[in-house]
Amino acid sequence: MYHKNDKNLEELEEKILLYEEILDKVLEGIYITDTEDKVIWFNKTVELLDGVKKEEAIGKKQAQAWQYMELPASVTGYIIRTGKQSKEQLITYKDLHNKTISVFAQAYPFYYQNQLKAVYSLANYVEYSEKQLNKISEYRKRFLDSNARVVNNAPYTLYDVIGSSSAMIDLVSKARKVAINKTPVMLYGETGTGKEIFAQGIHNASLQHDGKFVAINCAAIPENLLESFLFGSVKGAYTGAVDKPGLLEDANGGTLFLDELNSMPLLLQGKLLRVFQEKQACRIGSNRSYPVNCRLISATNQDPRELIHDGILRTDLYFRLAVLTLEIPPLAKRDKDVLELTRFFINRYNSEYNLQIHSIDDDVEQLFLNYQWPGNVRELDNAIEYAMNFLSRGRAIIHQQDLPHYIQNAVNQSHCNSNTFESSQSEPKQRTLNEVLAETERHLVKKTLEETNWNISRAAKILGIHREALYYRIKKFGFLRPSQ
């Protein structure tokens, strides 16, 4: 027969288990002793950080349970003697591995029917608390950054940079340092490496984060309009001109980001140099100057020293704008980041397209690690989105056949070339995978340009890359457009 007392005991046992589970999740160390200083219970924080197991300690006196440690006088002893709550005190001792442990401890008496029955102590482990404070500080910075980005129209911060490779960790660290002052920064890296993310991140980490972040791609604006975009214009200055402030005015108190600086005409580079020397500019068609008070971040997709050597970038402008330089490494040199970025893009498109793709298969993983990614992060993003659009419902793994055709062709060509090399007796030297992939890429780009009669938009679409990336490859491989 089921008695009421049995039910009460069962409910009590359930509550005790619940309370123990909750206390085990608490970050503070909690331990309880009886009036003879024998251990009754302690939570997992104590067990984890002191290295003492419950089954070995419960029922023993504290000094015996922690016998291998250099413990000071027990804080619970004061409670047992006086029946009063102790003051918080810093206690330092050695654990089983001779590591110094520091805790802020405070003990409390537990009375039942006016009799002292137990003593419970709370211990804040200093090392653990410091880690939690660092986390809070980090979250606070992220919160401030997220609020700043709403105001200044710069959605990215340096926390959004994905990559755990040593190169990226070092780069983000440098970016945080250069963000502090208004010193001009020049970013350089191949197309698709994420230069604007770094530019926005530096802005959001700067003292000017409340100001506007104004960006312009110098390659996207016709040369005859770029000057008016930068400096502004007055009505009547030229046919169709209207009173309009330039980006230099618009960015006042904030940051101006000049992307693809190497596409800016040399004459305009000279005018820009003068502006940042004199800290003032004039709208086109006006003699009245306005102050220029913004930080300048510029970016190129080639090494600026090569641009200077080729006469594309003025030396004097370089030394004015590249006081601080940051080189963003290509994805091909960041093997560790490729799979991390892959997971990020899969998760993003799962959310965007309401999919449940789990991962890539082993063959695709190996392919991604060996592929050169000439379009860098942007190309990887493109490849993942492409694959996820063609995956049938119910499939959770991306296979090689799901990838863009040009990547599959590059791999197949690589295998074909590899087999040819192995069977050839006249080949003087085995080519590396990078060399094979580069040659495959060159052949594919050339073939696509010829098939589209050099229609850049169509060729870029077929190749699955942006127009700028295609222009970069045309220049990289030295292709010349055939005369009509």
Query: DSSP string spanning 342-358?
Result: HHHHHHHHHHHHT----
482 is a domain residue = no
**Torsion from C-alpha of 203, 208, 212, 217, nearest 10 degrees:** -40
Which is more confidently placed, 68 or 11?
11
322 and 202 belong to one structural domain? yes
Q: Based on the domain organization, do 122 and 254 belong to the same domain? A: no
d(CA 129, CA 147): 27
Residue 283 lies in a domain: yes
Residue 138 within any structural domain of the chain = no
Taking residues 186-191, report their average pLDDT.
94
**How many Cα atoms are found within 13 Å in the side-chain-facing hemisphere of 256?**
22
Shared-domain flag, residues 340 and 325: no
User: 31 near 42, Cβ under 8 Å?
Assistant: yes
CATH of the domain at 76: 3.30.450.20
Q: What is the dihedral of CA 350, 351, 352, 358, to 10 degrees?
A: 0
Q: What pTM, to 2 d.p., does this model score?
A: 0.59
Say what the pLDDT of residue 423 is. Answer: 44
Chosen domain end from 295, 329, 363: 329
Environment class of residue 110 by beta-carbon count within 10 Å: exposed (0-12), middle (13-18) or buried (19+)? middle
Both 169 and 84 in a single domain? no
Are 375 and 347 within one domain? yes
Query: What does the pLDDT look like over 113-129, one tens digit per residue?
Result: 889 999 988 888 877 77
Rounded Cα distance between 33 and 39, Å, is: 4
Q: What is the average pLDDT across 93-105?
A: 76
Domain membership of residue 137 (yes or no) is no
* Nearest by Cα to 349 from 307, 393, 382, 312: 382
Residue 391 one-letter amino acid: L
Pairing mode, strands 115-125 and 100-112: antiparallel
Alpha-carbon distance 185 to 328, whole Å? 13
Q: What stretches of 219-302 adopt beta strand conformation (E)?
A: 232-233, 244-245, 255-259, 280-282, 289-291, 295-300
Q: What pLDDT score was predicted for residue 149?
A: 45
Domain at 218, CATH number: 3.40.50.300
Q: Give the count of domains, the chain.
A: 3
Going by pLDDT thresholds of 50, 70 and 90, the confidence category of residue 254 is: very high
Domain for residue 411, yes or no? yes
- Asked whether residue 290 carries a pLDDT value surpassing 90, the answer given is yes
Q: What is the pLDDT of residue 383?
A: 94
What is the structure's pLDDT at 85?
85
- How many Å apart are CA 444 and CA 463, to the nearest integer? 8
Kindly report the backbone phi and psi dihedral angles of residue 313, in degrees, each rounded to the nearest multiple of 5, phi listed first.
-120, 130
Q: Are residues 80 and 114 in the same domain?
A: yes
H/E element, 38: none
User: Are residue 261 and residue 351 in the same domain, yes or no?
Assistant: no
| Final residue in a domain of this structure, among 129, 163, 182 | 129
DSSP-derived letter for residue 315 is: H
Indicate whether 429 pLDDT > 60: no
Instruction: Give the domain-ending residue among 268, 302, 329.
Output: 329
Model pLDDT for residues 44-76, shown as the tens digit of each residue? 888 887 778 888 888 888 778 776 555 455 667
Residues 314 and 398 in one domain: no
Domain of 394, in residue numbers: 336-477
Residues 317 and 341 in one domain: no
Neighbours of 438 (CB within 10 A): 17
Contact call for residues 73 and 63 (beta carbons, < 8 A) = no
Q: How confident is the model at residue 459 (pLDDT cuts 50, 70, 90)?
A: confident
Task: Point out which residues pair with 290 in neighbouring strands.
Answer: 281
Q: 425: pLDDT confidence band, cut at 50, 70 and 90? A: very low
281 and 364 share one domain: no
Taking the CA atoms of the chain, what radius of gyration do you get in angstroms? 33
DSSP 8-state class, residue 60? S
Residue 183 scores a pLDDT above 80: yes
The answer to whether residue 48 sits within a structural domain is yes
At 5, the pLDDT band (50, 70, 90 cuts) reads low
Euclidean distance between CA atoms 255 and 295, whole angstroms: 5
DSSP string, 174-186: HHHHHHSS---EE
User: Does 402 reside within a domain?
Assistant: yes
Q: pLDDT band at 218, cuts 50/70/90?
A: very high
Question: How far, in Å, CA of 97 to CA of 405, rounded?
Answer: 57
In a domain, 169, yes or no: yes
- Is the domain of 323 the same as that of 341? no
How is residue 103 written in tokens? 């805790």
Confidence class for position 90, pLDDT limits 50, 70, 90? confident
Same domain as 301, residue 157: yes
Which CATH number belongs to the domain containing residue 450 in this structure?
A: 1.10.8.60
**Over 111-137, what HEC string results?**
EECCEEEEEEEEEEEHHHHHHHHHHHH
